[in-house]
Amino acid sequence: MTGFNTLFYKEILRFWKVATQTLTAPIVTAMLYLLIFGHVLEEHVQVFPGVSYTGFLVPGLVMMSVLQNSFANSSSSLIQSKITGNLVFILLTPLSHWEMFGAYVLAAMVRGLAVGAGVFLITVWFAKLSFVAPIWILLFAILGSAILATMGLLAGIWAEKFDQLAAFQNFLIVPATFLAGVFYSVHTLPPFWQAISHVNPFFYMIDGFRYGFFGHSDVPPYTSFAFVSLFFLIVATIAVSLLKSGYKLRH
């Protein structure tokens, strides 16, 4: 486990050394979303009975921050290593593909969950929240961060330039996150867009996470958990297979 621990420690240090950019900035961004949307819509929108719009918004912003920052950490780390050429020093070590996968994904999860915790601590003062099912909160936060960390790993493996990685994030990750019910309930959408939302795995992560706070959701939490778990197994299997084969890593 020495190699795994070393790589994991290196990945933690990588984002911790620039904590203003990797931790503080996303928390401030989420705070701005809350102030703007909460102020504008608080008196006009009520999604769940007895739940204010600001209260509804807080779990969505927390989960959005967890997902986006988990993706950003693993993807940026791998693409930077590929472009600067220092990836070779990792490939030369006797690290197995499982150790590489675990170190990159766990470090990205730490960053995502740290940002999510920071967003929660800042935004919780603006809304009254309950904790109906805290186990669901933890399960979906951990699974969601693991999925996006793995997707970041896939993006980092596939991309050869920063603009390719930016395209992956801007045209897939960000739209999928914003269209997953962070700011609204999918039941308010027209039937076509409801159907689109129900094939978006990000929707199940956010909906299940929000259920843990209010006991209300658009989809039963067990359905969301099954869908999210299956999706994680799929992306993890692909990522481990690509690491094992050395796809776009060993030239």
Residue-by-residue DSSP string for the chain: -HHHHHHHHHHHHHHHTTHIIIIIHHHHHHHHHHHHHHHHHTTT---STT--HHHHHHHHHHHHHHHHHHHHHHHHHHHHHHHHSTHHHHHTS---HHHHHHHHHHHHHHHHHHHHHHHHHHHGGGS----S-HHHHHHHHHHHHHHHHHHHHHHHHH-SSHHHHHHHIIIIIHHHHHTTSSSS-GGGS-HHHHHHHTT-HHHHHHHHHHHHHHS--SS-HHHHHHHHHHHHHHHHHHHHHHHHHTTTT--
Within-domain flag for 66: yes
- Domain that includes residue 205, residue range: 2-245
Within-domain flag for 250: no
Q: What is the reported pLDDT for 240?
A: 97
Q: Residue 150 burial (CB < 10 Å; 0-12/13-18/19+)?
A: buried
- For the whole model, what pTM was predicted? 0.93
Q: What is the reported pLDDT for 10?
A: 95
Q: What is the reported pLDDT for 138?
A: 96
Q: What is the reported pLDDT for 195?
A: 85
Q: Mean pLDDT in each 10-residue stretch from start to end of the chain (251 residues)?
A: 91 95 94 82 67 85 95 95 90 92 97 96 84 94 97 95 90 88 81 86 94 89 96 97 91 64
The Cβ of residue 237 has, within 10 Å, a number of other Cβ atoms equal to: 11
Q: What is the reported pLDDT for 127?
A: 80
Within-domain flag for 238: yes
Within-domain flag for 251: no
Within-domain flag for 166: yes
Within-domain flag for 191: yes
Within-domain flag for 115: yes
Q: What is the reported pLDDT for 54?
A: 84
Within-domain flag for 11: yes
Q: Could you give the number of structural domains in the chain? A: 1
Q: What is the reported pLDDT for 44?
A: 59
